[in-house]
Chain A
Amino acid sequence: MLLWQTSQTINFAQGEFVMLPAFFVLAAMKFGGLSFPLAILAGLALALLVLGLLFKRLVVDPIIRHGVLPLVISTVALAIFLKEGVKEFYAADAQAFPAAWATTNLALGPAVVSVQNLVIIAVAVAAVGLLQYFLGGTRTGRQMQATAQNPALARILGIPVERMILYTFLINAALVALASFLISPIYLAKFTNGETLGLVAFVAAIVGGFNQVRGAIVGGLLVGVIDNFVAAYWSSQYRAAIPLFLLIAVILFRPQGLLGRAEERTV
């Protein structure tokens, strides 16, 4: 969504972007002999380099000038490349990924709450809060917003548009790395993880509103809650279908998404 707003980039490899940093960490531990905290740092650095800088320079920059569709096809190809690359050069089977926090439970009356889940929620909320603060409360953030809203005018005002777009790619890389480190201890690290994650993220973004960060958050929560309620209280067989029905309903009746802004373009 960040990428779409600043550079009109639709990234169909976003799921694989979440899958890959976990393998950077595992590879740093296995082949580099690094401890887990150092491997996390190495994973983050590699994610910034490969999924931020190199993705922009080698894939987006040369192709975006030919239009959005070639870029979409390129990111689909990139997704296959990343998936098969991990399968070929690391492992085809799932790998255990260490958790950076306690895996114990808290008993709150009759309910049992996992510390792991609490940490994930806390980190996710903190990340969104920091991102919002950065975008709205700092000079660089406001420059990035200006770039997203009107790149030509931003350039006239002296904002380094290219640099702002690069920052967006780096922030995106940092966020996918964070998601990867949070989710892999539960889902296990596997080369196919991106398929599930990418589809869910895409559905959530469209349901919530593709041009609003808060829309993506609401979409993600809604899809997650509906998916789990359906599986727990109705039918686990049809759980995967319900979010897709929601997607169809949103496209039919509110194409801009629940919190999205309608956009008009000259054709």
Chain B
Amino acid sequence: MKAEWIGAVAGGMLALCAASAQAQQTVNMPIVIELSGAGAVSGTNFRDGAVIAIDEINAKGGILGRRISAPQSDTQSNPGVSRAQVQKAIDGNPYVILGPVFSGSVKVNMVLAQQAEVPQFTGAEAADITQMGNDYIFRTSFGQQMSMPKIANYIRDRLKAKSVAILWVNNDFGKGGRDTFSKEMAARNIKVIADVSTESGQVDFAADVVKIKGANADAIFVYTNEEESARFLREARKQGVKAPLIGETTLLGQKVIELAGEAANGAKGHVGLTVDAPIPAVQAFRDKFQKRFNYLPDHNGIKGYTAVYAVKHATEKIGSFDRKLLAKTMKGLTIKPEQEPGILMEATWDAKGDIDRISFLAEVVDGKQKIVTILPKLGK
């Protein structure tokens, strides 16, 4: 009886040791992301891109010998839920947090990650996210202060427009974009003659298109999320809008083209990231993503993928899993594809956590995004 008891205790201790060893062999990188609600398209793409990178890295032995563990949680595209999910992720002692994508969610949850000194890699684009003195927030896509000057130059130089109408979504992403874009227009003496706000998740754009069309602007700038962009494009086609429709990645993305169908043809603008970029590494990523998930990724897929590889590269550079050191190392870091193929394109993070890399002017032709011009990094 006594021997059995000793055996059970020894077995238990062995199991505990094994579990402890197992825990030591993993690094916790939770993905807190929009898997439902208005941001489901963006969030699912980001998550799937990150999952591919994590599986690739784990297949090669992980980061510094540790496998990545990436539990996923759904923010439901709701800032309040996202805050709770980030707190839950922090309770699990993460090395970094991946996501979310929606600016409104990031603004309310990034303070938690900052207080816990956990680096957070986000796909959010609202300009002010990196202007709040948070040393732990890093973007994997352009902020609006980087992309809007490029769009403004395009409208002035290529379209020769003297007036624009703006249609924007009334959330943090849309408001930030609208404010930054309006400033850039004023700086170039281009008049904003219609300013139409829409709601996140809005389904009926008939009245908005009537208003925009009636303004008779030289160009229409559309800054809504993907699904709303697709609905707007369909309605604009129905009402025979002739002015050029200009936008960012959320107007020219693959999901928008898929949802809007032929109504997407003719849309143009600036895309910070695109899977149709004429870069072999990006195209290889697109192919493996489509093969695995059976749909074409949009720019958010690349955001998730590069976030994981940026963490890997920076961690291997510092040689340990030190969160503070990782945040410090990311400032001013440039990662080239020769050093880290998973980064896809050379990328530099500045002192505020903003990313800089090449970007593209694109238009939708025959249901496909066509890259017209490659724009250099702003820092070059």
Residues of chain A having any CB pair with chain B under 8 Å = 87, 92-96, 103, 105, 107, 112, 114, 116-117, 186-188, 190, 192-193, 196, 227-233, 236-237, 239-240
Contacts and interface: CB of A to CB of B under 8 A. Distances in A.
A40 B230 CA distance: 23
B211 A232 contact: yes
Nearest to B214: A232
Contact of B239 (A93, A103, A114, A236): A114
B227 A239 contact: no
Contact of A92 (B36, B197, B262): B36
A186 B40 CA distance: 19
B229 to A, nearest CB: 11
Contacts of B263: 103
B35 interface: yes
B198 interface: yes
A105 B240 CA distance: 7
A229 B231 CA distance: 19
B207 A239 contact: yes
A96 B261 contact: yes
A236 B196 contact: yes
A112 B234 contact: no
A116 B207 contact: no
A117 B204 CA distance: 13
Contacts of A239: 207
B240 A112 contact: yes
B210 interface: yes
Given A112-B239, A186-B234, A237 B208 contact: no
Nearest to A88: B36
Contact of B230 (A87, A94, A105, A196): A94
Contact of B40 (A93, A105, A117, A230): A93
A92 B44 contact: yes
B56 interface: no
B208 A236 contact: yes
B207 A187 contact: no
Is the contact region of chain A dominated by helix, strand, or loop, or is it mixed? mixed
Nearest to A186: B234
B198 A236 contact: yes
Contacts of A92: 35-37, 40, 44
A93 B227 contact: yes
A16 to B, nearest CB: 15
Name the residue in B196, B197, B238 with the highest tally of chain A Cβ atoms < 10 Å from its Cβ.
B238
Across the A-B interface, the 8 shortest Cβ-Cβ residue pairs: A231-B207, A112-B240, A114-B238, A92-B40, A232-B207, A92-B36, A187-B203, A93-B40
B258 to A, nearest CB: 6
21 contacts: A92-B40, A93-B227, A93-B255, A94-B41, A94-B227, A96-B258, A103-B262, A103-B263, A105-B240, A114-B239, A117-B238, A186-B203, A186-B234, A188-B230, A188-B259, A192-B37, A227-B207, A228-B210, A231-B211, A236-B207, A237-B170
Interface of B: 35-37, 40-41, 44, 170, 196-199, 201, 203-204, 206-208, 210-211, 214, 227, 230-231, 234-235, 237-240, 255, 258-259, 261-263
B230 A228 contact: no
A193 B207 contact: no
Nearest to B41: A93
B288 to A, nearest CB: 21
A188 B240 contact: no
B239 A94 contact: no
A180 B313 CA distance: 49
Contacts of A233: 211
B36 A96 contact: no
Given A188-B259, A231-B211, A236-B207, A93 B44 contact: yes
Given A112-B240, A231-B207, A186 B231 contact: yes
Contacts of B261: 96, 103
Nearest to A196: B203
Contacts of A105: 237-240
A112 B239 CA distance: 6
Contacts of A95: 259
B44 A103 contact: no
Given A103-B262, A188-B230, 6 more contacts: A93-B44, A105-B239, A116-B238, A117-B238, A186-B231, A232-B210
A96 B237 CA distance: 16
Contacts of A87: 36
B262 to A, nearest CB: 7
B1 to A, nearest CB: 51
A112 B209 CA distance: 12
A96 B238 contact: no
